[in-house]
Amino acid sequence: MKKLLLCTAIAASLSLSGCGGGGEDLVEVQAQTPVDKPFARIVFNPPSTFPLPNDAAMLPATSLFDFTIESENQTDFDGSNPLDAVGALDGWSTQYPMTIDVDLPANVTLPLASLQAPNAIHIYEATQALEGTSAACQAIASQVAAPGVPCEIGERLTLNQDYAVTLSDSDTIAIIPLRPLKPGQGYMLVVTEDLLDSDGRPVLGSTTWELARQDINSLPLSSADQLQLQGLVNLLVNGSSGAGIPIEQTSYAAYISTGSAGTVTATVKQLQVGPFAQALGTLLAQGVDLPTAQATAAQYLPVVAVGDSPRGDSAYDVLGPTLLGADTFAQFEALGLNCDTMRAILTGDPLNPLYPTVASAYGSLAPFCAATLKTGQVNLPYYSNPENPLGDWWRSACTSGAAVSAIEGSAPGTVASLIANGAVGPNNELCQAASGGQLYDLNLAAIGITDRRHLTKFAPVPVAQGSNPDGTETIEVQVTIPDEELINFLATINPDEIAPVSKPEAGWPVVVIQHGITSKKEDVLAAAGTLALAGFATVAIDHPLHGSRGFEIDGQTVNASNGFGGSSTDYLNLGSLLSARDNLRQSIVDTMGLRLGLNAWVDTTGEADIDPTNVHFMGQSLGSITGIGTVATANTPMSGDLAAFNSMFEFKTAGLSVPGGGIAQFLIESAGFGPLVSASVLAGGSESFQVALGTYAQTNGVPVSQALIPAYLQYVGERTAAQAAADAAIIGQFAFAAQTVIEGGDPNNYAARLAATTPVLLHEVVGDGSEGSSDQVIPNTTSLPTSGTEALIRFLGLPSISSSVVAETPQSGAVRFVAGEHGSLFNPTSSVAATTEMQLQMATFFATQGTAIVVRDESVVAN
């Protein structure tokens, strides 16, 4: 499909008899337009200049139409270019501001009050013809095979409730979502002449817009290109007129599709359980009894095989150097002091010279001794490229359904011909099974088309690329189990704080824990003691590209965990935004796969008996960010034949420590990550900073990589106002692209589903009001209303909790801490009291199935 070919279809749908000739020429009319009294006009001059977002950018630039945004370099796609990366998406950001530039005459401004006029700027939910199922939509689609053509106008969004309007600079209108738009939804943005300038005159459409807005039947423009534009604009203003906006009052309109965030992760969920469901159904149809059928079909689940840990018998053996300090722990080991010998000395050898040492230390160490340590493994599909994790991203296993439809529409029978001639790939069976026969793995190169295999709502099945033959990676699983005998002993010596436990008949309930950025699964053992005392087993894996899941590639370490020789940006990949998005998605589906694997638990020790029907989630920082996507997707019911397997994914509750949404903006404004992000972006796009960076590195005799942050901090203090403005524009452009790309992993897009399905306890560190006391990694608030922790709390609908709340039914809430820091859930260095309160709150929340949020120490909690 080529752009010019759309002219015929558009003309046909509007009853225009011809495409070209006999009409007004756009260039001539523009040249003749009077300029003695210039109006303020919206900048609109396609194809070179028009506001974004806009689905006009989805008009295909190549022979492939796959419903993705067309970046400038689709023929030579470069995923490392942020603006190219946007071209892999099936829609725009759900939450980043939209902007409209205005050409202002001299001494004319845009009053803020005018932007607030009730009918100046409208947004409606809408449906486009290529996606609509109604007769009206199908009629338009049969004539206009173009994206972004509205056929139905839905509910109007509310100004200052759903979105705000302001100026980002003197001549740029910013339309700012106050809550995320719906993923995978179409919207109509309409600007009317109720928008007035400082002279009280209407802000008009550009001359190009006004000419293209004319009725194509009575006043057609002259050239094919101009008629195509006129046809599209006519369809847009006709669509807005359906909402009661007069065509002649419409100074700008655009159809905007949001990206289908969550569609791919939901598809992976179905892929995870589908083989088990199919095998179970087959066995039951053969007359096999249910227990036998379930046991046999379990081989199609991600089996979690658990054995003894080579790292020690308990969490203490791993955390001892952290808990005691490396030197003291070494002394303890030299003296033979471990969990067993300390208990023996404490209970039966009071004359032992080590007794005072043991007596003073054992109380704080014993909970970690009570968390028996096991190690397991699970094979999970890895959808990123293990040979190029920093520069590649998830790919579709299937040819886009949109592309197939477009190809068949222009050349019926092409798909059948390709299949008959063997032009199908190895994933064709998967594509057919996963889509009910709608998708194929076709070799489009056989008909001269480059298939980019971007993942979209029309191609949501990713191809597994892991190093195992089946595309999986073998992942180490960390397990802790309550030591029932030890816990009950501790309850006898400290009954005020520790209660006896008894393993339930169904097995120990489970908390799946996910660590934060630059951390590793071993660090979450810091909460294993508290959870063991509360009667919970814990299960944890590393995030992709963290800890045991890093890679060594050609001598380069790819690992985001501290101390492993890599970089935090190996995961939050600023150089490949698509890779960053898919690291987030990999985290989401890995934890979901681990949850499913608890139903295929193989305990070779006889000591790790768990209850796979009573599972909770705990996350910290990045673990909470991706955990929102995990739990929301896991707890969103499947329908049809898979509905019977919903409980296999279920998380009863979720405990989220210091998460945030609107990832791109909060990273830029983060005290911890912001300088690294801004410096990295400017190093690639700001000539003035490039000079400063090179100068700093040479002057101080350090590599550029080491000079990056100190050079940036020095540069920021010295740059001119003009340089600062130019830098802000570069960073703003990056933020727009980054947020648009990573929407598929952003927790804001999963918040509504999480709130609808799961009791949530969220912790935020707000500090005591002193400088630097609030969260310094994920800012609680940012310059955008959709970014930060507070925004996420609002989207989750969480009430503020400052004292204990106990109810008969599950509840949710946000507790704000005045003590502690970002990492306090697992690290008590900043405040032992805050860490203790955080862990106990979550343990109680889990133990009561979300019915109780108990605040024990109100001194660390905001009123």
Q: Phi then psi for 28, rounded to 5 degrees?
A: -65, -45
In 610-759, which ranges are E strands?
610-620, 654-657
Which pLDDT score, from 0 to 100, does residue 63 have? 77
For the segment 109-119, what is each residue's pLDDT rounded down to a tens digit? 999 999 999 99
Which pLDDT score, from 0 to 100, does residue 60 have? 82
Reply yes or no on whether the pLDDT at 855 is more than 70. Answer: yes
- For residues 126 and 156, give the distance between their C-alpha atoms in angstroms, rounded to a whole number: 9
The tokens 């083989």 sit on which residue? 275
Q: Which of 732, 724, 714 is nearest to 675 (CA)?
A: 714
Least confident of 50-64, 263-277, 429-443: 50-64
For the segment 535-580, what is each residue's pLDDT rounded down to a tens digit? 999 999 999 999 999 999 999 999 999 999 999 999 999 999 999 9
Token pair belonging to 71? 């970046």
Which pLDDT score, from 0 to 100, does residue 19 have? 40
Confidence label for 62 from pLDDT (cuts 50, 70 and 90): confident
Confidence label for 240 from pLDDT (cuts 50, 70 and 90): confident
3-state secondary structure of 105: coil
- Determine the straight-line distance between the first and last CA of the chain, rounded to whole angstroms: 61
Which pLDDT score, from 0 to 100, does residue 30 have? 55
For the segment 719-778, what is each residue's pLDDT rounded down to a tens digit? 999 999 999 999 999 999 999 999 999 999 999 999 999 999 999 999 999 999 999 999
Reply yes or no on whether the pLDDT at 714 is more than 60. Answer: yes
For the segment 819-845, what is each residue's pLDDT rounded down to a tens digit? 999 999 999 999 999 999 999 999 999
DSSP β-bridge partners for residue 254: 189
Q: Which of 88, 154, 83 is nearest to 122 (CA)?
A: 154
Which pLDDT score, from 0 to 100, does residue 563 have? 96
* Better-scored residue on pLDDT, 65 or 384: 384
What would the mean pLDDT of 425-448 be, rounded to a whole number? 96
What mean pLDDT is reported for the chain? Answer: 94
Which pLDDT score, from 0 to 100, does residue 782 have? 98
Which pLDDT score, from 0 to 100, does residue 142 have? 87
Which pLDDT score, from 0 to 100, does residue 26 have? 55
Which pLDDT score, from 0 to 100, does residue 73 have? 63
- DSSP assignment of 659-686 equals --B-HHHHHHH-TTTHHHHHHHHHHHH-
DSSP β-bridge partners for residue 177: 163
Interstrand relation of 760-765 and 813-817 (parallel, antiparallel or unpaired): parallel
For the segment 291-325, what is each residue's pLDDT rounded down to a tens digit? 999 999 999 999 999 999 999 999 999 999 999 99
Q: Which of 801, 814, 812, 815 is nearest to 759 (CA)?
A: 812
Angle at which helices 339-348 and 355-369 cross, to 10°:
130
Confidence label for 28 from pLDDT (cuts 50, 70 and 90): low
Q: Which of 459, 425, 458, 466 is nearest to 442 (CA)?
A: 425
Token pair belonging to 239? 């669509």
**Sequence ranges of the domains in the chain:** 3-259, 261-314+375-395+477-631, 315-369, 401-447, 666-745, 746-860
Distance of CA 108 to the CA centre of its chain: 41
Which pLDDT score, from 0 to 100, does residue 212 have? 92
Confidence label for 189 from pLDDT (cuts 50, 70 and 90): very high
For the segment 335-359, what is each residue's pLDDT rounded down to a tens digit? 999 999 999 999 999 999 999 999 9
Distance of CA 161 to the CA centre of its chain: 24
Q: Phi then psi for 226, rounded to 5 degrees?
A: -70, -35
What would the mean pLDDT of 653-674 be, rounded to a whole number? 98
Q: What is the model's pTM?
A: 0.94
What lies within 8 Å, CB to CB, of 466 at 6+ separation is 380, 381, 382, 386, 472, 473
Q: Phi then psi for 540, rounded to 5 degrees?
A: -150, 145
Reply yes or no on whether the pLDDT at 18 is more than 60. Answer: no
Q: Is the CB of residue 846 less than 8 Å from the CB of residue 653?
A: yes
For the segment 586-623, what is each residue's pLDDT rounded down to a tens digit? 999 999 999 999 999 999 999 999 999 999 999 999 99
What would the mean pLDDT of 57-81 be, rounded to a whole number? 82
Reply yes or no on whether the pLDDT at 663 is more than 60. Answer: yes
Q: Is the CB of residue 559 less than 8 Å from the CB of residue 568?
A: no
Q: Phi then psi for 140, rounded to 5 degrees?
A: -70, -45
The tokens 């359904």 sit on which residue? 401
Which pLDDT score, from 0 to 100, does residue 24 have? 57
- For residues 280 and 300, give the distance between their C-alpha atoms in angstroms, rounded to a whole number: 10
Least confident of 7-21, 84-98, 420-434, 683-697: 7-21
Q: Is the CB of residue 168 less than 8 Å from the CB of residue 97?
A: yes
What lies within 8 Å, CB to CB, of 691 at 6+ separation is none
Reply yes or no on whether the pLDDT at 260 is more than 90. Answer: yes
506-534 burial, b for 16+ CB within 10 Å, e for fewer?
ebbbbbbbbbbbbbbbbbbbbbbbbbbbb
Q: Phi then psi for 603, rounded to 5 degrees?
A: -100, 110
Token pair belonging to 95? 């939450």
Which pLDDT score, from 0 to 100, does residue 10 have? 32
Reply yes or no on whether the pLDDT at 21 is more than 50. Answer: no
3-state secondary structure of 457: coil
Token pair belonging to 686? 């700001």
Q: Is the CB of residue 233 less than 8 Å from the CB of residue 158?
A: no
Element (H, E) at 508: strand 508-514
Confidence label for 4 from pLDDT (cuts 50, 70 and 90): very low
Q: Is the CB of residue 565 less than 8 Å from the CB of residue 557?
A: yes
Tell me how far CA of residue 22 lies from CA of 220, 221, 386, in angstroms.
8, 8, 59
Burial class (CB in 10 A: 0-12, 13-18, 19+), 144: buried
Reply yes or no on whether the pLDDT at 32 is more than 70. Answer: no
